[in-house]
Amino acid sequence: MTESRLEALPLREELKGQSPYGAPQIDVPAMLNVNETTYDVPADVIDAIAKEVRGAAETLNRYPDREFTTLRQKLAGHLNAETGLELSAEQIWAGNGSNEVMQHILQAFAGPGRSVMSFPPTYSMYPLYARGVYSDYIAGTRGPGYTQDPEDVAAQIREHRPNVVILCSPNNPTGTALDLSVVEAAYAAVEESETMLVVDEAYGEFRQPGTPSALSLLESRPRLIVTRTMSKAFALAGGRLGYLAAAPEVTDALRLVRLPYHLSAVTQAAACAALDHAENLMANVERIKTQRDRIVSELTTMGLQPYPSDANFVFFGGLEDARAAWQHLLDDGILVRDVGIEGHLRVTAGTEEETTSFLTSLQAYLQHR
């Protein structure tokens, strides 16, 4: 009914017949399908957010700080504490989720007649961002086991000369982080055309020990942008706060396309309060990593093929019928993600209890098939 009414609207040609982003939101005991932190927000963080938001409420008759200065300082401080770098607030940009940050990047550096390239299987939003800014989308290819090789990535960039290249590390849905040699090779290639390089580190905080962040490559690379989010490690998916680090002139470019006052005073207050409790929130990251490693090892024992994971989820193959396994898990109250790759599913590492029920249910499925 509404479908035929939608067809009657003078919609942009390229949007006709398209579907919106739609990860299922089903209320079950174990929601392990969109890589949120499944731990409750700690009580002291809830109190701090409520207090800051109350303070912000007193100012809501006025527009918020357009430059979100305090928030940018705190975000820089957080990244510096993680990496030992000395990033300045001028190098930080933020938006309502890293989705909006990515849209700002493409509005500034892609747009009509330009192109965006990423390497599937990867985050399903990249082609949609490209579509939203009237850009062509170029799907690069990966090597065996979904790996990316420095020479191959650089050669594909040199062949297509896209305006924006997005690397996702750790990659969603496969979970594996890129060696920095891939980012370095990609950067050398983007310098030869009118191209910006974005490394999406939405899951950066979950990297395995010894895996460096692309943030360490920012110095003297003005066309490199590293995006992060508070949606995953910070347990703040509902707060909608994503951010990036880049050269200060990149943030100047993004000021040209953002809508005025895009970060509400409420959002800024909530994010600042969460950043003040970063240490407390990061304690959950360690617990989640333990469950992640446990999933990889137990799935291997079950005879399945999990991919090495630097993220808060595990991608695994070896299922005869991924759809049937997905349904079995759902019947047991466990929602995981079918990313549309035959024989594979993706599961978020949740609490110890959620992980146990996932592993138990999957084990039962494999035995009684």
Ligand X SMILES: *Cc1c(COP(=O)(O)O)cnc(C)c1O
Name the amino acid, one letter, at 166.
I
To the nearest whole angstrom, how small is the minimum distance from the Cβ of residue 78 to ligand X? 15
Nearer to ligand X, 37 or 357 (CB): 37
d(CA 11, CA 8): 8
To the nearest whole angstrom, how small is the minimum distance from the Cβ of residue 120 to ligand X? 12
Region near ligand X per CB under 6 A, out of 16-24, 94-102, 133-141, 325-333: 94-102
Region near ligand X per CB under 6 A, out of 176-184, 229-237, 244-252, 255-263: 229-237
263 forms part of the interface with ligand X (CB under 6 A): no
Region near ligand X per CB under 6 A, out of 91-99, 138-146, 318-326, 334-342: 91-99
156 forms part of the interface with ligand X (CB under 6 A): no
To the nearest whole angstrom, how small is the minimum distance from the Cβ of residue 22 to ligand X? 14
- 8 A C-beta contact, residue 275 and residue 79: no
Nearer to ligand X, 98 or 361 (CB): 98
172 forms part of the interface with ligand X (CB under 6 A): yes
- 8 A C-beta contact, residue 274 and residue 236: yes
To the nearest whole angstrom, how small is the minimum distance from the Cβ of residue 302 to ligand X? 25
To the nearest whole angstrom, how small is the minimum distance from the Cβ of residue 196 to ligand X? 17
239 forms part of the interface with ligand X (CB under 6 A): no
To the nearest whole angstrom, how small is the minimum distance from the Cβ of residue 257 to ligand X? 17
Nearer to ligand X, 237 or 257 (CB): 237
Q: Which of residues 17-76 bind ligand X (CB under 6 A)?
A: 35
CA distances from 282 to 44, 72, 254, 285, 361 (A): 14, 19, 29, 5, 29
To the nearest whole angstrom, how small is the minimum distance from the Cβ of residue 362 to ligand X? 22
CA distances from 256 to 106, 195, 276, 312 (A): 12, 18, 30, 34
Cβ-based neighbours of 356, under 8 Å, separated by 6 or more? none
165 forms part of the interface with ligand X (CB under 6 A): no
123 forms part of the interface with ligand X (CB under 6 A): yes
Nearer to ligand X, 169 or 361 (CB): 169
229 forms part of the interface with ligand X (CB under 6 A): yes
DSSP 354-369: HHHHHHHHHHHHHHH-
Region near ligand X per CB under 6 A, out of 50-58, 155-163, 225-233, 352-360: 225-233
Q: Pairing state of beta strands 313-317 and 305-306?
A: antiparallel
Region near ligand X per CB under 6 A, out of 96-104, 288-296, 302-310, 344-352: 96-104
To the nearest whole angstrom, how small is the minimum distance from the Cβ of residue 140 to ligand X? 16
Q: Which of residues 180-209 bind ligand X (CB under 6 A)?
A: 200, 202
Nearer to ligand X, 196 or 328 (CB): 196
Q: Where are the beta strands (DSSP E) in the chain?
A: 30-31, 92-95, 115-118, 136-139, 164-168, 196-200, 224-229, 242-245, 305-306, 313-317, 334-335, 345-348
Adjacency order of strands within the sheet including 313-317: 305-306, 313-317, 345-348
Cβ-based neighbours of 282, under 8 Å, separated by 6 or more? 205, 233
99 forms part of the interface with ligand X (CB under 6 A): yes
Residue of 242, 270, 306, 335 that binds ligand X (CB under 6 A): 242
Q: Which two tokens stand for residue 284?
A: 């959950």
Nearer to ligand X, 78 or 232 (CB): 232
Q: In the block, which residue shows the tokens 């019928």?
A: 321
Q: In the block, which residue shows the tokens 């692309």?
A: 214
Q: Pairing state of beta strands 313-317 and 345-348?
A: antiparallel
The DSSP secondary-structure symbol of 213 reads -
Name the amino acid, one letter, at 59.
T
Q: Is 139 helix (H, G, I), strand (E, B) or coil?
A: strand
Residues of this chain that interact with ligand X (CB under 6 A) are 35, 97-99, 123, 168, 172, 200, 202, 229, 231-232, 237, 242
